[in-house]
Structure 1
Amino acid sequence: MDRLIQANGQPHFGIFLQAVGEVNYRDFDFRSPMGRPRGALAKWRRFHQFQYFGLISDQLIGGCALANLSLAGIGFVYLFHPASGRMIERQFKLPLGIGTRFSQHPNSGVCELRSGKNLLRLENHGSEKRLSVELDDGTRIEAAFNELEPAFQPMCLNTPTATDGWVYAQKVAGVRCQGSVQSALGRFDLAAIDAFAHHDWSAGYMRPETFWNWACLSGQAGGQRVGLNLSCGVNETSFTENCFWLDGELIKVDTVRFSYDRNNEMAAWRIQSFDGQVDLHFEARGLHKERLNLGFIASNFKQIFGQFRGELRPNGRPALVIDGLWGFVEDQYVKW
């Protein structure tokens, strides 16, 4: 599919076999809940986009995100060293997104944030995704993966939200990653430490006030490459993004329930799918969080990294035991 928005101004909805060529949101017939056409300013103000690249291994955990919230450009990057518990993290907030650029082509283009001598850059070139980070403290990250080496089926979907919006999402987890990291935590060759990557490209007209949970893991279990992407709160209208991957094969999962204590961010989580294919426990080991409340924009964001244990039970196949694989869960409230 070349373009997400059709000639009549309406989006294509569904789960797609491959990424769309362009999220052409400016062609969307954006209307109020009462049917009144909205102008260019509202169309710009309400469109939000973000991209995330994560690194997972026993020796190093990392994450980098960029977000275009129209009134602000936001970015963060962190590195966590499980053996020592040490962590490096930086956050950037740029009014009106000055110093950022975002492509609306999920598999073609560059998204980046520049602030002084700091650069966060995410490049998408077909099946290849690349992360580059340069910080003024000497931290350097160069990481990349290719969905074709070996073959991998991403999760690509577009769902309606509220009465007047939609969200396009493109997810990858359970792919091996190459590159290097240099920081105060040490030097790491990502291939040598058997690092895995996951990637999220999302954009659209999300609910003005929303909340979600998310879980992701990547690694090797039972002789297979395993990836997991589960969410609750954003993409459940008609379709869900919930799935896991075994050696690159996408296996769809039904709706999921996240059980946890919102007031104790390092307490254990339980994650179960309605169809019984996922039954996991999560034990927290570290945390990246941000709080922002400017009235018209607010966020309470917790991304927790740790280890999963339990089972994946693909229909008609033996259960796969997950025992200590690293990954993430997320607890996010946002008003935008």
Structure 2
Amino acid sequence: MHQLIQADGQPHYGQFAAAPELINYRDYDFRSPMGRPQGALAKWRRFHQFQYFGIISDQLIGGCALANLSLLGVGFVYLFHPASGRMIKRQFKLPLGLGTLFSQNPNQGVCELRWGHNRLRLENSGPSLEKHLSVTLDDGTSIEARFSEREPAFAPMCLCTPTAVNGWVYAQKVAGVRCQGHVRSSLGDFDLGTIDAFAHHDWSAGYMRPETFWNWACLSGQVDGQRVGLNLSCGVNETSFSENCFWLDGELIKVDGVRFAFNRDQPLEPWTITSNDGQVALRFSGAGLHQERVNAGLIASNFKQIFGRFTGELRPRGRQSVRIDQLWGFVEDQYAKW
């Protein structure tokens, strides 16, 4: 598919085998809830985009996100050292996104944030299907991490769903891929290949609900010689189609609706995550978290991303169950008004 938005101004909806070449949101026939056509300013204000790259291993956990919220450009990066419990984290908020750059091509282009001597950069390369994270911070921290969906072959989750009365969301997700590169920081120097790090990746954009929430779960690792990845959510991307899935050696397996049971006031306490079709039965125990709270009137966020360990089972239909035993991963509890 060349472009997500068709000639009639409507998106292609559904799950796709590959990403569109361009998320041409400016061609969308954007209407008010009462059906009135909206102009370029409204299209710019309501369009939001974000990209996330996560790193998972027994020795190091990391995450970096960039978001274009029209009125605000947002970025964060963190590193967590499980053995010591120490953590490095930085957050950036740039009015009107000044100092940021966002490509609308999920597989080809650059998303970047610059602030002083700090740079967060996510580059996607179409020919190699490679995703590359590059971070340089003014405290000397540097991250160079990358993975490819081509070797070994991997089937990303790509879908577009209708959202609320007048929107849509395109989401593209990957988990369960090995990660290469290096990290240098006050937590130590790490070769990501040597420590057997895995990665996950999220590229999402569209006209999202003006006020929304979601829970999300992701893991990446190896179980009995098999590469395993997981992507589950509740609250977004569930209208007509669902992003819920897991991967076994790069093969995508769809999952039904998911229930997250947890204590919102104590997010490090255990979570229970189960799917309606019985393919997922997991328990998550938190080890640390990254959180942000913003309440700026037109924009607000209460964001918690917790990293910890999963135990339980994945039960693909007609196959042997995959036993998950203390595998590192992430969950989120997020409220957003934008």
* Fold match by TM threshold 0.5: yes
2:130 aligns with 128
| Amino acid in the other structure paired with 2:198 | F
SS in 1 for 2:190: strand
User: 1:233-279: per-residue Cα shift (whole Å, max 9, x none)?
Assistant: 11000000000000000000011000001111211100000000000
Give, in angstroms, the shift of residue 89 of structure 1.
0.1
Report what 1:202 is aligned to. 204
Match of 2:168 in 1: 166
> Whole-Å Cα distance in 2 between the matches of residues 157 and 265 of structure 1?
29
Amino acid across the alignment from 2:80: F
- 1:222: how far off? 2.2
Determine the C-alpha separation between the residues in 2 that align with 1:19 and 1:30.
Answer: 22
* 2:149 matches 1:147: yes
Alignment of 1:185 with 2:195, yes or no, is: no
Q: What letter matches 2:20 in structure 1?
A: V
What is the total number of aligned residue pairs between the two structures? 336
1:65-123: CA deviations, max 9, x gaps? Answer: 00000000000000000000000000000000000000000000000000000000000
Query: Which residue does 1:274 correspond to in 2?
Result: 276
User: Which residue of 2 is the match for residue 6 of structure 1?
Assistant: 6
Between the aligned partners of 2:293 and 2:34, the Cα distance in structure 1 is: 33
Cα separation, 2, equivalents of 1:334 and 1:235: 15
Q: In the alignment, what sits opposite 1:38?
A: 38
The residue type paired with residue 70 of structure 2 is S
1:299 to 294, 298, 301: 301
Q: Counterpart in 2 of 1:27?
A: 27
Identity of aligned residues (%): 77
Q: Which amino acid is 1:145 matched to? A: F
C-alpha distance in structure 2 between counterparts of 1:149 and 1:76, whole Å? 29
Output the aligned Cα RMSD: 0.4
Counterpart residue type for residue 292 of structure 1: V
Q: Say which SS state the counterpart of residue 34 (structure 1) adopts.
A: coil
1:56 Cα deviation after fit: 0.2
Instruction: Give unpaired runs (5+ residues) of structure 2.
Output: none
Letter in 2 for 1:36: R
**Residue number in structure 1 paired with 2:109:** 109
SS at match of 2:312: strand
Give, in whole Å, the separation in 2 of the partners of 1:216 and 1:245.
11
Looking at structure 2, the residues matched to 266 and 285 of structure 1 have their Cα atoms a distance apart, in angstroms, of: 7
TM-score, normalised to structure 2's length? 0.99
Which residue type is aligned with residue 120 of structure 1?
L
Q: Does 1:137 align with 2:139?
A: yes
Distance 2:2 2:269 in 1: 44
Distance 2:95 2:3 in 1: 29
C-alpha offsets along residues 119-141 of structure 1, whole Å, 9 cap, x if unaligned? Answer: 00000002100000000000000
- Correspondence 1:77 to 2:77: yes
Q: Give the alignment's TM-score, normalised by structure 1.
A: 1.00
Structure 2 distance, partners of 1:94, 1:265, is 28
Q: What is the one-letter code of the residue matched to 1:305?
A: F
- Give, in angstroms, the shift of residue 15 of structure 1: 0.2
Matched residues in 1 for 2:205 and 2:149: separation? 21
Q: State how far apart, in whole Å, the 1-side matches of 2:242 and 2:139 are.
A: 40
Structure 2: which amino acid aligns with 1:33? P
SS in 2 for 1:106: coil
Q: For 1:33 and 1:92, locate their aligned partners in 2 and report how far apart those are by CA, in whole Å.
A: 33
2:214 match:
212
Question: 2:181 is paired with a residue of what secondary structure?
Answer: strand
Partner of 2:247: 245
**What's the CA shift for 1:223?**
1.8
